[in-house]
């Protein structure tokens, strides 16, 4: 239970930092910001394992998680601008 709460809190911090570092007007609420951070961490972990930077089961670091969240924000902005 505490692991899930910790993951969501870290995701919220990562999402907030990613939104602060990427310029633009992203209208996301607290829940979507937290999910963005968690998804960015998962993306960074997946890419890191695929590239051989992390071992299987090892989580990505803070910087990689923020970069993953920024990548997701850019993709979200591209999809939103086309519709």
pTM (2 decimals)? 0.81
Q: Is the pLDDT of residue 3 over 70?
A: no
Q: Is the pLDDT of residue 5 over 70?
A: yes
How many C-beta atoms lie closer than 10 Å to residue 38's C-beta? 19
Count how many Cα atoms sit within 13 Å of the Cα of residue 62 in the half-sphere of its side chain: 7
Tell me how many domains the chain contains: 1
Taking residues 33-57, what's their average pLDDT? 86
Taking residues 4-13, what's their average pLDDT? 78
What residue numbers bound the domain in which 21 lies?
A: 2-82
Q: How confident is the model at residue 2 (pLDDT cuts 50, 70, 90)?
A: low
């Amino acid at each position: 239970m505490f692991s899930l709460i910790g993951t969501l809190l870290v995701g919220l911090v990562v999402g907030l930092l990613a939104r602060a570092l990427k310029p633009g007007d992203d209208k996301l609420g607290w829940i979507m910001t937290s999910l963005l951070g968690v998804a960015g961490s998962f993306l960074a972990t997946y890419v890191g394992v695929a590239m051989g930077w992390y071992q299987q089961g090892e989580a990505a670091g803070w910087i990689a998680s923020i970069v993953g969240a920024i990548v997701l924000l850019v993709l979200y902005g591209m999809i939103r601008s086309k519709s």
